[in-house]
């Protein structure tokens, strides 16, 4: 009898499990696309699930909900009618410590498909990706492992072979996550991915793989926050179509140190312009409207903005960058630490939009030298309790996610490797101890870490010091913040994509057009002697070729030397008749880049008896640092014998010195005929080396060649303004304070114009509109 009753109960349960989704579908609008089932709740949220995940649908009050933890009842976190925080708190309370530890992980860079070797390598069932054999939308073995074994739910995506493949890969990942544990979806993310391909041609009505916009410095050069907000809206639409719900941007550090290699990723050196752009950027990315809004501006069109880098990383001593041990120190000789907070406190933390505040923040690698006024610690910002707990959390009331920059808990082995561990100031601690230090400082998440074990080890350290109840609460505090951002973006209800829709949205013609128009607006005309521009009639142009020496990038990838046009000559020919003989030319078009001299360090200098440190130069010619500090402000590393990082009296060469010759030699060959120079600028630069030999100078911040030529030929009028100063000399660069904006004497050209912040020209002359006065120096 009991056996019959047991069988009856099991049969009833089985029928209920089968019938529940069918019952829901009879009452609610349901569509199926492959293995993805979508249910439209009348007057409520649309939910979607994968038939591969094993998740059932619950029907409550005539509405459909996903039973993510498979317990047969509607938990608060599964109830899309409840507020985000109530759902997040309920889910955090159900999570094991192991699951919370996984939520705190942020993956290393993931390429789709994975490369067969190198930094982005991965395998598929033990084998490398093979074109024609491996499905590029499949998950790698490593991805399956960190999603299931380590409970990781935040994935950083780099290159994708196509938008459709990205969508298919997203669906595979989300189905796996939906059917694992408590059904927490993946929150996929990206670094900025809307840069240009210079040689690409823009054709009205044509699309691309993704819309192309100028670099952040170019967006800043428009001095137009409304344009930046629109960029955020477009980029967010494309991100969500790719399955990306978090942007590891904007980078709002004020770039007060002109030699910093990350200058081009910022909005320039002015704190108030950076604040305005930060606010606009976050509003654009985070705000959902209309049917996509769930609540408070958040919804299916929202992308979390992870603003970086708190409390500002733009004052590295002598311009060196903290990806390297040689650049770990941010210094403040001008006493301007508070200026670096303005883009955060007056921009990203004070949004005019409904989401009100950037949802995540990333501290920089740097040690903010002698800025910890409470504990006196000189450690990396993510390790510093004063910088995070006291300043960020308490003083400025920030309760969003704080995520470390990538790889800060790894071991430090060499001074000059981009992919070295970055535990600045805490090199002596174990990996687990570094994780614990980060948690105690008030940070929630570990960038570039795929393994949960160090967090679990840190948890046990906390239990030993504070007790299990206290440490459990600390873990749930971070879980709440992290889950909030996943709930806000609607991923629990529908993380799935239609690849066909993705293909139609990403890089669609309307978005390509808007990006191209922004490129036009971002260019800055610095010089126009004798109104040589615009060139409205078709003329004969001489375009010198560029020699590029062999080089190796930060990932060890080699580029051979070359001698070729630095511009798409086919694009140039659409505007000009091109000749290789300057004698036959009406004018010359010279395309160059700002000077590049390396990272400020060379180990061969150590073998020669030095300390390894070299100047970073902003001029093309060889530079000897006779006016550099004799003793560095900061220093010290376990791998160094001296704390003095001075490079005084040392000489450095630029790798693109031939760019200077392209201008000077061309000017000589042209014998007084117009020489028009286009400069792709990544950093401020010394213009005095070639400005007098140039008839016109047009600056761009990484745009398509076609956009440059449209300006030169007058198809549009320049309107951009400099978002930074252009120094008079390298002596001026050495004298300026790394932390102080607008403290350099600027270059004055042959026409009497100073290349200062806010300077720019149009066809009528110097621009003097309201933008120039809005952001005071």
Looking at the DSSP bridge assignments, the partners of residue 251 are: 308
Looking at the DSSP bridge assignments, the partners of residue 590 are: 677
Report whether pLDDT(715) > 80. yes
Rounded distance, CA 352 to CA 454, Å?
A: 39
With 0-12 / 13-18 / 19 or more C-beta atoms within 10 angstroms meaning exposed / middle / buried, residue 8 is exposed
**Secondary structure (3-state) at 244:** strand
Report whether pLDDT(531) > 80. yes
* Model pLDDT, residue 20: 45
* Model pLDDT, residue 679: 98
Report whether pLDDT(718) > 60. yes
Range of lowest pLDDT (26-35, 231-240, 667-676) = 26-35
Distant-in-sequence, close-in-space partners of 349: CB < 8 Å, separation ≥ 6: 357, 358, 396, 398
Residue with the larger pLDDT of the pair 531 and 115: 531
* Model pLDDT, residue 554: 61
Convert the pLDDT of each residue in 62-92 to its tens digit. 999 999 999 999 999 999 999 999 999 999 9
Distant-in-sequence, close-in-space partners of 728: CB < 8 Å, separation ≥ 6: 686, 688, 744, 745, 746, 747, 748
* Model pLDDT, residue 323: 97
Contact 65, 57 (CB under 8 A): yes
Distant-in-sequence, close-in-space partners of 303: CB < 8 Å, separation ≥ 6: 235, 236, 239, 240, 244, 245, 246, 247, 285, 286, 489
Tokens of 31: 């569509």
Q: How many Å is the maximal CA-CA distance in the chain?
A: 108
Report whether pLDDT(405) > 90. yes
Residue 11: pLDDT band by 50, 70, 90 thresholds? very low
* Model pLDDT, residue 207: 65
Backbone phi and psi for residue 707, each to the nearest 5 degrees, phi listed first: -65, -35
Rounded distance, CA 232 to CA 223, Å?
A: 15
Tokens of 178: 């939906």
How big is the chain, counted in residues? 777
Report whether pLDDT(443) > 50. yes
Rounded distance, CA 149 to CA 338, Å?
A: 43
* Model pLDDT, residue 260: 98
Contact 362, 403 (CB under 8 A): yes
Convert the pLDDT of each residue in 679-713 to its tens digit. 999 999 999 999 999 999 999 999 999 999 999 99
**Secondary structure (3-state) at 319:** helix
Mean pLDDT across 219-230: 98
Residue 59 backbone class (left: φ over 0; alpha: ψ -120 to 50; beta: rest): beta
Nearest to 657 by CA among 645, 667, 665, 648: 665
Residue 721: pLDDT band by 50, 70, 90 thresholds? very high
* Token pair 């920089």 in the structure block, residue: 364
Report whether pLDDT(55) > 90. yes
* Token pair 């170019």 in the structure block, residue: 218
Range of lowest pLDDT (14-28, 102-116, 300-314, 600-614) = 14-28
Q: What is the mean pLDDT of the chain?
A: 94
Report whether pLDDT(28) > 90. no
**Secondary structure (3-state) at 731:** helix
With 0-12 / 13-18 / 19 or more C-beta atoms within 10 angstroms meaning exposed / middle / buried, residue 564 is exposed
The HSE-up count of residue 497 (CA atoms within 13 Å, CB side) is 31
* Model pLDDT, residue 100: 98
Tokens of 262: 């990350």
* Model pLDDT, residue 15: 36
Report whether pLDDT(395) > 80. yes
* Model pLDDT, residue 753: 98
Convert the pLDDT of each residue in 447-503 to its tens digit. 999 999 999 999 999 999 999 999 999 999 999 999 999 999 999 999 999 999 999
Q: What is the pTM of this model?
A: 0.94
Residue 552: pLDDT band by 50, 70, 90 thresholds? confident
Rounded distance, CA 318 to CA 613, Å?
A: 10
Report whether pLDDT(135) > 60. yes
Rounded distance, CA 16 to CA 392, Å?
A: 50
* Token pair 């440190």 in the structure block, residue: 613
Distant-in-sequence, close-in-space partners of 182: CB < 8 Å, separation ≥ 6: 68, 69, 77, 91, 94, 95, 99
Report whether pLDDT(25) > 80. no
What is the 3 state secondary structure string of 523-580?
CEEEEEHHHCCCCCCCCEEECCCEEECCEECCCCCEECCEEECCCCHHHHCCCCEEEC
* Model pLDDT, residue 560: 87
Mean pLDDT across 603-630: 96
What is the 3 state secondary structure string of 562-625?
EEECCCCHHHHCCCCEEECCHHHCCEEEEEEECCCCCCCECHHHHHCCCCCECCCCCCCCCEEC
Percent of the chain topping pLDDT 70: 95
Range of lowest pLDDT (340-344, 399-403, 455-459, 553-557) = 553-557
Residue 363 is classified by DSSP as E
Convert the pLDDT of each residue in 286-311 to its tens digit. 999 999 999 999 999 999 999 999 99
Contact 686, 619 (CB under 8 A): yes
* Model pLDDT, residue 117: 82
Report whether pLDDT(19) > 50. no
Residue 110: pLDDT band by 50, 70, 90 thresholds? very high
Residue 206: pLDDT band by 50, 70, 90 thresholds? low
Rounded distance, CA 584 to CA 22, Å?
A: 78
* Model pLDDT, residue 426: 98
* Model pLDDT, residue 27: 61
Distant-in-sequence, close-in-space partners of 264: CB < 8 Å, separation ≥ 6: 215, 216, 217, 681, 682, 683, 701, 702
Question: Which H/E stretch holds residue 432?
Answer: helix 431-441
* Model pLDDT, residue 2: 47
* Model pLDDT, residue 10: 44
Burial annotation 22-36 (CB, 10 A radius, 16+ → b, else e): eebbeebebeeeeeb
* Model pLDDT, residue 18: 45
Looking at the DSSP bridge assignments, the partners of residue 676 are: 589, 696
Contact 611, 640 (CB under 8 A): yes
Mean pLDDT across 573-581: 98
* Model pLDDT, residue 8: 40
């Amino acid at each position: 009898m009991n056996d019959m009753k047991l069988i009856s109960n099991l049969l009833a349960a089985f029928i209920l499990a089968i019938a529940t989704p069918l019952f829901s579908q009879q009452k609610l609008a349901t569509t199926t696309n492959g293995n993805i089932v979508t249910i439209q709740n009348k007057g409520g949220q649309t939910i979607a699930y994968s038939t591969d995940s094993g998740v059932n649908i619950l029907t409550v009050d005539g509405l459909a909900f996903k039973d993510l933890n498979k317990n047969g009842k509607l938990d608060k976190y599964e109830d899309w009618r409840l507020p985000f925080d109530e759902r997040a708190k309920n889910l955090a309370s159900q999570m094991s410590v192991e699951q919370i530890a996984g939520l705190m992980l942020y993956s290393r860079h993931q390429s789709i498909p994975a490369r067969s070797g190198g930094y982005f390598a991965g395998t598929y069932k033990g084998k490398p990706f093979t074109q024609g054999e491996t499905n590029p939308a499949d998950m790698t073995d490593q991805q399956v492992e960190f999603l299931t074994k380590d409970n990781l739910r935040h994935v950083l995506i780099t290159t994708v072979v196509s938008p459709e493949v990205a969508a298919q890969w997203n669906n595979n990942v989300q189905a796996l996550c939906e059917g694992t544990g408590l059904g927490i979806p993946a929150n996929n993310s990206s670094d900025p991915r809307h840069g240009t391909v210079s040689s690409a041609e823009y054709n009205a009505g044509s699309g691309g793989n993704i819309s192309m916009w100028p670099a952040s410095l170019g967006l800043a050069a428009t001095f137009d926050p409304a344009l930046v907000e629109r960029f955020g809206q477009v980029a967010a639409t494309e991100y969500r179509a790719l399955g990306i719900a978090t942007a590891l941007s904007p980078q709002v550090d004020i770039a007060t140190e002109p030699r910093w290699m990350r200058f081009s990723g910022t909005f320039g050196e002015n704190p108030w312009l950076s604040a305005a752009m930060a606010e606009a950027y976050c509003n654009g990315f985070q705000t959902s409207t209309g049917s996509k809004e769930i609540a408070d501006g958040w919804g299916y069109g929202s992308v979390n903005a992870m603003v970086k880098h708190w409390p500002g990383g733009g004052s590295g001593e002598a311009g060196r960058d903290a990806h390297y041990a040689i650049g770990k120190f941010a210094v403040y000789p001008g006493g301007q630490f508070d200026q670096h907070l303005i883009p955060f406190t007056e921009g990203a933390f004070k949004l005019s939009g409904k989401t009100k505040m950037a949802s995540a923040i990333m501290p920089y690698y740097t040690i903010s030298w002698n800025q910890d006024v409470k504990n006196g610690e000189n450690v990396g910002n993510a390790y510093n309790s004063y910088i995070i707990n006291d300043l960020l959390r308490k003083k400025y009331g920030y309760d969003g996610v704080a995520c470390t920059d990538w790889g800060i808990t790894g071991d430090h082995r060499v001074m000059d490797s981009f992919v070295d561990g970055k535990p600045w100031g805490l090199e002596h601690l174990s990996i687990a101890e570094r994780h614990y230090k980060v948690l105690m400082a008030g940070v929630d998440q570990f960038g570039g870490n795929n393994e949960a074990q160090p967090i679990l080890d840190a948890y046990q350290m906390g239990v030993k010091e504070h007790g299990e109840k206290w440490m459990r609460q600390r873990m749930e505090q971070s879980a709440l913040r992290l889950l909030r951002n996943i709930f806000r973006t609607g991923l629990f209800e529908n993380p799935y994509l239609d690849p066909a829709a993705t293909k139609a949205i990403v890089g669609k013609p309307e978005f390509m057009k808007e990006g191209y128009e922004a490129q036009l607006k971002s260019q800055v005309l610095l010089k126009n002697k004798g109104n040589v521009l615009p060139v409205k009639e078709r003329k004969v142009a001489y375009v010198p070729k560029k020699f590029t020496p062999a080089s190796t990038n930060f990932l060890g990838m080699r580029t051979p030397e070359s001698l070729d046009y630095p511009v798409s000559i086919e694009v140039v020919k659409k505007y000009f008749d091109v000749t290789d003989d300057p004698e036959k030319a009406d004018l010359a078009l010279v395309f160059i880049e700002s000077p590049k001299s390396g990272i400020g360090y060379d180990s061969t200098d150590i073998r020669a008896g030095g300390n390894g440190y070299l100047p970073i130069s902003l001029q093309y010619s060889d530079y000897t640092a006779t006016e550099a500090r004799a003793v560095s402000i900061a220093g010290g590393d376990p791998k160094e014998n001296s704390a003095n990082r001075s490079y005084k009296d040392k000489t450095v060469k630029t790798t693109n010195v031939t760019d200077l010759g392209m201008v000077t030699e061309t000017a000589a060959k042209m014998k007084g005929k117009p020489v028009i120079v286009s400069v792709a600028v990544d950093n401020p630069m010394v213009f005095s080396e070639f400005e007098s030999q140039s008839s016109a100078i047009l600056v761009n911040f990484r745009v398509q060649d076609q956009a440059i030529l449209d300006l030169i030929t007058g198809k549009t009028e320049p309107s951009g303004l400099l978002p930074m100063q252009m120094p008079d000399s390298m002596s001026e660069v050495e004298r300026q304070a790394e932390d102080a904006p607008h403290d350099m004497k600027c270059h004055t050209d042959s026409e009497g114009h100073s290349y200062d912040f806010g300077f720019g020209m149009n066809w009528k002359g110097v621009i003097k509109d309201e933008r120039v006065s809005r952001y005071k120096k």
